[in-house]
Amino acid sequence: MKDNIYGNIPCFLGAENLVKKGEYDTDVIFYGAPFEGESTWGDYTGVELGPKQIRSSSARYSGYLPELDHVDVTEHLTFGDAGDVPFVAHDNEQSYQNIEDFSAELWKTGKFLVGFGGEHGVTYPILKSLADSGKTVGIIHLDAHYDNMPDYEGEQYARNTPFMRLYETEGVRNESIIHTGIHGPRNKPDTGRYAKENGAVTITINDIREAKDLRAYAKEIYDMAAKDVDVVYLSICSDVLDFAYNPGGPVDGNGLTSYELLTMIHEFGKHGLIGMDYVEVYPMMDANQHSAHFVSYAVLYVLAGHLKHLGKI
């Protein structure tokens, strides 16, 4: 119990408890951003429980991937869990500031960071802190939706606004923001227009499906994100997956399969990422926690690619 990150919750994938240790000295650092502000659809809520369930579900898994040349990620990388950012209920601005301050300290380590949401709004303060450190940032944004509205009922810090805030952030190159996997009628006409007006690139689900070579197309997407920037960051919203593969996420059809998503993010990892996040897992909507379990797969596939990038395998 003393090694748990809090309560009865284990560290992600058996990572070392860095809160207890007091040092950020592992190759990979996991952390949670359990923030939820206004719900943009009825009572579809509970996303702040995502980091807790993602960690609990990860206890089932090792780092071994026989389908990827029998790599065991944990043989080559050390894992640490830095705990969770404090969430201030009913104060989105303060919660965002907490995320920005927390992630700024982690970016100083130069380690590979993996954040767990929480809603997609958490990506903005995470990347603002990276850009403020002096890095020019490109972003591969995997999502069904643009999440680039100016506000939600007057609130600038909401789950459907982070990419509008990132368009406005100095140090983020808008032309290297690649909205990838976009699909479905939960998008609004304005969102596609906002992306175009701000110079961001749209890759739809059909663009991905019609690519003859998925791995080669992933390299093309990566190259667009990497153009004229110092670093590339990966942000994954659960609903880029079809709801058949994402029962604990928003209800969106015609999305990626788990194979398509894992293949693409493994390729992104091979070409060089500074970090990633995985957001919008709703444990209260998923009796068997399939979506939370899948996060372990996604992280390990990225890290297996990262090992190739580092030349360790």
Q: Report pLDDT digits (tens) over 36-46.
A: 987 777 677 88
DSSP state of 256: B
Q: Give residue for tokens 């007091």.
A: 22
Total domain count, the chain: 1
- The CATH number that applies at residue 82 is 3.40.800.10
In this predicted model, what pLDDT tens digit does every residue of 99-140 receive, in sequence order? 999 999 999 999 999 999 999 999 999 999 999 999 999 999
**Residue positions forming the annotated binding site:** 120, 143, 145, 147, 237, 239
Q: Which residues are annotated as a binding site for Mn(2+)?
A: 120, 143, 145, 147, 237, 239
Q: Which of 284, 36, 291 is nearest to 160 (CA)?
A: 36
* Residue 1 in this model has a pLDDT that exceeds 70: no
Q: 166-169: which pairs have CB atoms within 8 A and are 24 or more residues apart?
A: 166/123, 166/124, 166/127, 166/128, 166/139, 167/194, 167/198, 167/200, 169/124, 169/127, 169/128, 169/131
Its domain, for residue 25, covers 4-310
Q: What is the pLDDT of residue 128?
A: 98
253: its two tokens: 């059809």
Q: What is the mean pLDDT of the chain?
A: 96
pTM of the model: 0.97
Number of residues written out for the chain? 313
